[in-house]
């Protein structure tokens, strides 16, 4: 690392350590309740100090002559662009990971990484302190990031990677945005009952992430919606078993969910572990199609929470709809609901008695951006 880079990282670290108090969300839990007047005033003062320091950092970054940064048009909320192209002459980098590695150790400014058309066979990881990164493809059918690890693939230490480590693309920092790109795990569809074949295409382990027009392709455990608040808009998600899973608080709007199960599969495995956890999955105006027989969800967590509203369901949906993960006790604590769904698989008549056909009042908290506090952070 050059002397300049070390000084830059030290400068950023000083700013962060001197920042005022901040509120954040972890594991999809939204902190609510009344706060006293003194707390509010203290926090406001801290935010003002933090804002001043942030703008000092923006001014400092703007003065740098980074070889791959373009000058921002908006000086108040600057953003920088980096291009990735398979052709070395067509962009700043030929690999997405190299573009990410070029950013400061602590990143506080929006960086748009434009990934030109092509198939990028690489494993990508965004570390926790590199926030405000946008990955923008040339189209979900044109820009593809792929790799083929499974949970049993040996890692650098010789031990299996596990489900967490199998992800083709992993994000660990907040305010991530992905647009018009495909994330794919190339591992084949495992036979029924296979062990260690979890193969994650994308893992999001951070708060406030948005996805527009993206594709997530895999088989078992395609999309690891680990924790945080997330918004998926007009995305395509494909898999066989538990292919949307985790303990995030996520809204899927206008998405196409497609099953490729050989026999029986499950769409979701939501892992809410406590009645106090403000987490869950909500699917609004989506479409569910595919092959095999499909459960809408399995109760991975004892308080698992999933809702489908205004969603088209093909005839692949098993009449029971939901599975208790082999634990009848979970039938008393999970929250599984449908609201005004349509299609041959949407009939509620055969559903398990511990699922719900929601009333207007019951459905209201799940069917808008307020479910994920979206007005607070989407478009940032």
Give residues with Cβ within 8 angstroms of 52, minimum separation 6. none
Q: How far apart are CA 90 and CA 141, in angstroms?
A: 20
Residue 265 to residues 81, 163, 189, 202, 290, Cα–Cα distance (Å):
41, 18, 11, 19, 10
> How many helices and strands in the chain, by DSSP H and E?
6, 25
The answer to whether 223 and 245 have CB atoms below 8 angstroms apart is yes
Q: How far apart are CA 7 and CA 9, in angstroms?
A: 6
β-strands 236-239, 209-212 pairing: unpaired
The answer to whether 340 and 309 have CB atoms below 8 angstroms apart is yes
Q: How many CA atoms lie within 13 A of 247 on its CB side?
A: 17
Structure tokens at 205: 């382990």
Q: Which of 86, 136, 93, 87 is nearest to 111 (CA)?
A: 136
Location of structure tokens 């939204």: 30
| Known catalytic membership, residue 360 | no
- Write out the H or E segment, with its range, that includes residue 144: strand 143-147
- Write out the H or E segment, with its range, that includes residue 224: strand 223-227
Give residues with Cβ within 8 angstroms of 283, minimum separation 6. 252, 255, 257, 306, 307, 308, 309, 311
List 207, 225, 242, 278, catalytic entry: 242
Return the active site residues. 242
């Amino acid at each position: 690392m050059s002397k300049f880079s070390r000084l830059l990282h030290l400068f950023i670290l000083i700013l962060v350590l001197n920042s005022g108090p901040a509120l954040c969300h972890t594991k999809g839990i939204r902190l609510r309740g009344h706060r006293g007047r003194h707390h509010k005033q203290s926090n406001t003062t801290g935010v003002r100090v933090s804002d001043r320091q942030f703008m000092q950092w923006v001014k400092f970054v703007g003065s740098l002559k980074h070889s791959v940064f373009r000058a921002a048009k908006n000086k108040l909320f600057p953003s920088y662009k980096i291009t990735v192209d398979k052709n070395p002459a067509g962009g700043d980098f030929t690999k997405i990971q190299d573009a990410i590695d070029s950013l400061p150790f602590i990143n506080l400014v929006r960086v748009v990484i434009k990934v030109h058309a092509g198939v990028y066979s690489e494993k990508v990881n965004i570390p926790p302190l590199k926030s405000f990164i946008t990955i923008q493809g040339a189209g979900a059918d044109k820009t593809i990031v792929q790799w083929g690890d499974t949970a049993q693939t040996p890692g650098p230490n010789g031990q299996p990677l596990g489900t967490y480590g199998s992800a083709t693309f992993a994000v660990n920092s907040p305010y991530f945005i992905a647009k018009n790109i495909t994330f794919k795990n190339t591992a084949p569809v495992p036979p029924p009952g296979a062990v260690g074949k979890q193969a994650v295409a994308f893992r999001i382990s951070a708060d406030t992430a948005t996805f527009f027009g993206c594709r997530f392709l895999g088989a078992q455990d395609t999309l690891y919606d680990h924790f945080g608040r997330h918004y998926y808009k007009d995305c395509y998600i494909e898999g066989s078993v538990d292919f949307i899973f985790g303990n995030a608080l996520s809204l899927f709007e206008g998405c196409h969910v497609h099953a490729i199960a050989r026999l029986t599969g499950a769409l979701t495995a939501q892992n809410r572990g406590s009645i106090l956890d403000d987490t869950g999955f909500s699917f609004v105006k989506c479409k569910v199609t595919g092959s095999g027989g499909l459960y809408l969800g399995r109760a991975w967590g004892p308080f698992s929470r999933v809702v489908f509203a205004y969603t088209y369901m093909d005839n692949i949906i098993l009449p029971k709809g939901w599975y208790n993960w082999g634990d009848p006790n979970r039938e008393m604590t999970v929250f599984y609901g449908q609201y005004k769904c349509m299609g041959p698989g949407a009939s509620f008549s055969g559903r398990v008695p511990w699922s719900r056909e929601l009333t207007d009042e019951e459905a209201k908290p799940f069917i808008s951006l307020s479910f994920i506090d979206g007005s607070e952070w989407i478009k940032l």
